[in-house]
Amino acid sequence: MEAAQSIILDLGTSSVRCGFSGEDLPRSIFPSKLPKEKEGREVMKLLGRMEGIDGKVESVDVGGKEVGLGEVMERGEIKNWELLTPLLEHTFTTHLDLATDALSHPILISEPPLASKESREKLTEIMFEVFKVQGVCFCNSSVLSLFASGRTRGMVVECGSGKTNVVPVFEGFSLPHAILNLPAAGQDVTEYLQKNIQDKLGYNVVKDMKHSLANCKPVTGPNSIRSKVEYSLPDGTPIQIDGVYTSAACDLLFNPDEYGIDNVDGGIGEMVGKCMEMVDKDVRQDMERNVVMAGGATMIDGFTERLNEEILKSEGLERLKDEWQKQNIGERIGELPGTNLNVIPNKTCREPGYNSQRKHAAWIGGSIMASLDTFQSIQITKQDYEDSGASGEYKKLVHRKAVV
C-alpha cells in the first residue's frame, strides 16, 4: 500500500464504511456495533461479515453463547466513546489490514452536518494519540455526497439510517444557517414496518422486507397502494403484507407529524422548500437545479418522484412564488421558483454510477477529495499536533481546516 494513500472513514448510525483514497467503493462495510465486554471482542471478525446487524439487534449468538452488543453511534453522533476506540482498532486491523501502533497514512473522516467541535477535538486526539496517524481531515458528509455527484453547488438531501439532513452547499462549503434536519430516517421506516405487520418478524428480516417492498407512494389518493403484497421469509414461507403499511412506512419521512415525530420544519419536502427560502436569492437557482439525494433510505422505490412532488407543493416554495409574482409586476425578474427543479438522480437525466451508489455517496466523495493535490492543505498533520503541545492550539487549527 502506497504511503500517499489516505484512509477514508465514514462512521454511520448503522454501519462503518472504510477504504482508501482513489478507490471507487468502500473496501469494507460492517456494523457500527461491537461486543460490550472485552471477552467478546474475538467475535469481531464474525460481525464484520454480518452486514444485517442493525437497529434494535442487541446481541448475537456465537457458538451457543449470547454476546451483548453496544451501539457506538446514535442518530449520526458518537454515543459511546469507550467503545469507539475498539471499533476503530477493528476497522484498521481486520478490515484494512493495517498495524495500529503507528498508521503511516493520513485519514479523512466524514462527519454529520453541524457536528460538535467537542466531538471533532476528541476524535483528533484519539487519532494522533492512540493510532499515530500522519494527518487528520474532517469533512461534512453532505458536502462529500455532493462532491461524489460531480458538483460543488447544490442542495443535498441526505437520508441514511438515523437522521435526515437537508444541506445547501455553495462552492464546496455548506451554508450552516440554512441546514435543517429530521430525527427520522431508514431505521424508523424499518421499525414502523416491524411494529405494524401482522407477523412479528425479526428486525433483520423486516429490514430486508423494506428494501424489497417499501415504496414512497402516497398513503391516500388514486395512486395509493391498498392491495396486499407477498413476501417470502428466509425459509421460503410466503406471507401477505398489507400494502398500506409498505407505503406508510416511508410516508413518515414526508409527514412526520402524522406518525408522532415532532419536527418544527415538517417532512423532507417542506424542509427543502424552507431551505430554498433561507438561502440567498443569488444562489437559489443553483440549489433548485441541483437537489441531490444521498444515503441508503433514498434508494427506496419512488423516493425521487415523491420528493419532487412534495417540494413543488411545499409552503416554502409557495411563498417564494408569491414573492416572485409581486416583484414581477411590470418587469420580469428571473424565473418562477420551482420551474427548474431537478431532483438528482432522475429518470430523464440518468447519471451513471451515482444513481446506484448514492448509499455510499459520502464515502465516495471522501475518496475523491483525498485524491486531490489540495488535500494536504485541509488536513492537520502529525507535526501540527505535536508542535501545539499542551497548549491545545491544534483545536483551533482542526476547526479552521475542517471542510464543513
**What is residue 362's predicted lDDT score, i.e. its pLDDT?**
97
Q: How confident is the model at residue 372 (pLDDT cuts 50, 70, 90)?
A: very high
Compute the average pLDDT of residues 210-222.
79
Q: Residue 353: its pLDDT value, please?
A: 55
What predicted TM-score, i.e. pTM, was given to this entire model? 0.91
The predicted pLDDT at position 135 comes to: 95
What string of DSSP letters covers 136-180? EEEEEHHHHHHHHTT-SSEEEEEE-SS-EEEEEEETTEE-GGG-E
* Domains defined along the chain, listed by start: 7-142+363-401 (3.30.420.40), 146-184+265-361 (3.30.420.40), 186-254 (3.90.640)
pLDDT(46) > 60? no
**Between 228 and 221, the higher pLDDT residue:** 228
Please give the mean pLDDT across all residues of the chain: 87
> Taking 50 as the threshold, does the pLDDT of residue 49 lie above it?
no
Residue 341's pLDDT is what? 94
Measure the N-to-C terminal CA separation of the chain; round to a whole number of Å. Answer: 29
Residue from 203, 157, 187 nearest 74 by CA: 187
Report the DSSP beta bridge partners of residue 164: 159, 182
pLDDT band at 331 (very low <50, low <70, confident <90, very high): low
138: Cβ–Cβ under 8 A, 6 or more apart, which residues?
Answer: 108, 109, 110, 111, 115, 120, 123, 398, 402, 403, 404
Q: How many residues does the chain have?
A: 404
User: Which secondary-structure segment (H or E) carries 65?
Assistant: strand 65-71
Q: In the structure, what pLDDT confidence band is assigned to residue 1 with cuts at 50, 70 and 90? A: very low
**pLDDT of 157 strictly over 60:** yes
| 244-257 mean pLDDT | 91
Distance of alpha carbon 240 from alpha carbon 219, whole angstroms: 18
What integer is the mean pLDDT of 342-351?
A: 77
pLDDT bracket for residue 70 (50, 70, 90)? confident
- Residue 376, pLDDT > 70, answer yes
CB contact at 8 A, 26 and 32: no
Question: What is the C-alpha to C-alpha distance for residues 8 and 186, in angstroms, rounded to an integer?
Answer: 23
What are the two backbone dihedrals, phi and then psi, of residue 204, each rounded to the nearest 5 degrees? -65, -35
pLDDT for 57 beyond 90? no
Residue 55 has pLDDT above 60, yes or no: no
pLDDT at 225: 61
**Among residues of the chain, what percentage have pLDDT more than 90?**
60
Please give the helix or strand (H or E) that residue 305 lies within, else none.
helix 303-312
